[in-house]
Structure 1
Amino acid sequence: MIIVTGAAGFIGSNLILKLNQHNFHHIVAVDKFDNPDKNSNLSKAKVLATIDRDSFIAWARDNAEAIEFIFHLGARTDTLEQNMDLLRELNTEYTKRVWELCTEEQIPLIYASSAATYGDGSLGFSDDKDLLPRLKPLNAYAQSKHEFDLWAITQENQPFYWSGLKFFNVYGPNEEHKGKMASMIHQAFIQIESTGKVRLFKSHHPDYAHGEQKRDFIHVDEVTDTLIKLMHHRKNPGIYNLGTGKARSFNEMVRQVFESLNKPVSIEYIDMPEHLKDAYQYFTEAEMTQLYPSIS
């Protein structure tokens, strides 16, 4: 059996569909399954069973001999969430329990980290583990992810194979349920279809013009292809970036969405909410020198 946590979510559901394409059907989907819109992401997926997130650890211990691999993608991903206790419980402590399960039962593990852990980017975007202790995330979500990364690299007891992947700005199908947390590419499409224009935050940084904030956008197909390749490879454990290695501006990205819809470009720049100004990443770009050489 292959386990996918966060199974009904954006990346999780796409991973299960991709596994199905590769003729993997003994998949156990783990999630809360309390959001009908989110659950619909699995309507075309073939899974062996669904397990509630709160019951999973106990179930997995009882069925460990049958588990071949765990993709732990489940998390509280709201970057505006301020309840640090909740984020630590769902993102940090829960992942520790998954890690300990995989260590005790020697189950290979891939877990989701985040590019948000790099903070303002002033230290660059290298996934060299020596940089990890110096990173300063800008929001509570990123901090909860960073705390687990720091914990993982200090553990003497580890699964026989593990990787943490710092996902950059992933976009693609099955993110409709995410609302304001959906990718800017998805939000641009919705805005253009409904209003004929896109609203972007003004820049409050002297080095960036309005709309010239940049992100490393990566399609979910590239992400799931890499996850499956790592599942087969199972060498060189560690924490790796997963992006394209090339940042693109919001202006460029939005213009491409307009072009794909054969509609004239119309962009409105709006003030950034005060609560975001100190927690906003103006630039992300994955340094990809470690992941792909390690699985080639």
Structure 2
Amino acid sequence: MYIVTGGAGFIGSAMVWKLNQMGIDDIIVVDNLASSEKWHNLVNRRFTDYLHRDTFRKMLEDNRLHYKIDGIIHLGACSSTTERNVDFLMENNVKYSELLCRRAMERGVRFINASSAATYGDGSMGFSDSIDTALKLKPLNAYGWSKQLFDMWAYREKRLASIASVKFFNVYGPNEYHKGDMKSVICKVFADIRKGLPIRLFKSDNPQYGDGESFRDFVYVKDCVNVLYWLLEHPEVNGILNIGSGRARTWNDLARAVYAAMDMPPVIEYFDMPESLRGKYQYFTQAEMGWLEKAGCDVAFHSLEEGVADYVRNYMMKDDPYLEQNL
């Protein structure tokens, strides 16, 4: 049996999909559905039980987790990079994660935690997932800081030798429609392109980069969950681990890939970067992924064009009010 926290969310529901693909139905989904549309992500999924996040946390606090568990994939957290309530982040992204990690370790259960590439801050210290780099990082927002705090707690408590804390880069793909401003650009612009509107990208305020030529490590959600499943199967591989494509691509590349997937010529417009981002905008991110080869992980990643084509053609273009629900 596996527990997937955040199991109705973007990466969480994709993880449930992956487990189902591997013939695994004994899954406990933990989330906070409230009045969101996330429940659509679970309609086609097979799982044993659903627990509200607060109920699950109380079970952890009282040490009443009576299931026989093989692994916990902890993806449940506040994922908003603009969240300003730091106390909320501390409770949900730090203390909750620490508690769950302790309970997993007490039972000898495989524990995989979602950290974030937001911990890398402005990127000036590079994107190595080594502990030497991790100890020096200074995130730019409270969300990234909350993720960094858990990683540093795991380091101090000597947990990193027994758990995998994974740093996701720019993830895109099915089941993200509910994420509001945190959706990928692909999800945000698809409907506009269908209406004949252009993709609009930031003008550059850095002379080293042209308009739309800043770089991101875009990684397809299916590749992410393939790696997570591989980590479940290889409990000997632990530490802080990047999950990205390992190949930085430009926003212009992304825009062209979306138009190509829709069999349309690209139409791109550039607008002035907001004052609040000038001088703070990140122009390059690229995950160092050397751990894959070192660990013998044979997961094959989609190229940007392949991932976007699968996402757009097989999910976004379906005539369904919840376009991505069918993953």
TM-score (norm 2): 0.86
Where does residue 163 of structure 1 map in the other structure?
Answer: 164
Distance 2:279 2:68 in 1: 46
Residue 33 of structure 1, CA deviation:
1.2
Residue 155 of structure 1, CA deviation:
0.8
Distance 1:63 1:213 in 2: 46
Distance 1:159 1:256 in 2: 38
SS in 1 for 2:195: helix
Indicate if the aligned counterparts of 1:241 and 1:291 stay in contact, CA closer than 8 A. no
SS in 2 for 1:90: helix
Distance 2:70 2:256 in 1: 44
Where does residue 199 of structure 1 map in the other structure?
Answer: 200
Change (3 A) 1:292 1:27: farther
Where does residue 305 of structure 2 map in the other structure?
Answer: none
Indicate if the aligned counterparts of 1:106 and 1:159 stay in contact, CA closer than 8 A. no
Indicate if the aligned counterparts of 1:138 and 1:279 stay in contact, CA closer than 8 A. no
Residue 133 of structure 1, CA deviation:
1.8
* Code of the aligned partner of 1:161: S
Q: 5 Å matches for 1:160-239?
A: 161-239=162-240
Where does residue 30 of structure 2 map in the other structure?
Answer: 30
Distance 1:110 1:84 in 2: 24
* Match 1:140 to one of 132, 139, 142: 142
Distance 1:81 1:58 in 2: 24
Which region of structure 1 is more displaced relative to structure 2, 280-289 or 46-55?
Answer: 280-289
* Code of the aligned partner of 2:23: N
Which region of structure 1 is more displaced relative to structure 2, 260-269 or 223-232?
Answer: 260-269
Where does residue 83 of structure 1 map in the other structure?
Answer: 85
Indicate if the aligned counterparts of 1:243 and 1:286 stay in contact, CA closer than 8 A. yes
Show structure 2 runs of 5+ residues with no match: 298-327
Distance 1:256 1:79 in 2: 26
Q: Deviations over 1:176-219 (max 9, x none)?
A: 00121111222232331234311112222232221111111111
Q: Deviations over 1:216-275 (max 9, x none)?
A: 111111111111111011113201001111000000110111111122211121223333
Where does residue 115 of structure 1 map in the other structure?
Answer: 117
Residue 165 of structure 1, CA deviation:
0.4
SS in 2 for 1:11: helix
RMSD: 1.7
Where does residue 62 of structure 1 map in the other structure?
Answer: 64
Distance 2:4 2:277 in 1: 32
TM-score (norm 1): 0.94
Where does residue 261 of structure 1 map in the other structure?
Answer: 262
Indicate if the aligned counterparts of 1:167 and 1:243 stay in contact, CA closer than 8 A. yes
1:291 aligns with 2:292: yes
Change (3 A) 1:10 1:130: same
Change (3 A) 1:65 1:180: closer
- Deviating above 6 A after TM superposition, structure 1's stretches of 4 or more consecutive aligned residues are none
Q: 5 Å matches for 1:270-281?
A: 270-277=271-278, 279-281=280-282
* Code of the aligned partner of 2:113: Y
Show structure 1 runs of 5+ residues with no match: none
SS in 1 for 2:255: helix
Query: Once the two structures are aligned, what percentage of the paired residues are identical?
Result: 44
* Code of the aligned partner of 1:18: K
Residue 135 of structure 1, CA deviation:
1.1
Change (3 A) 1:110 1:212: same
Indicate if the aligned counterparts of 2:212 and 2:252 stay in contact, CA closer than 8 A. yes
* Code of the aligned partner of 2:119: T
Where does residue 100 of structure 2 map in the other structure?
Answer: 98
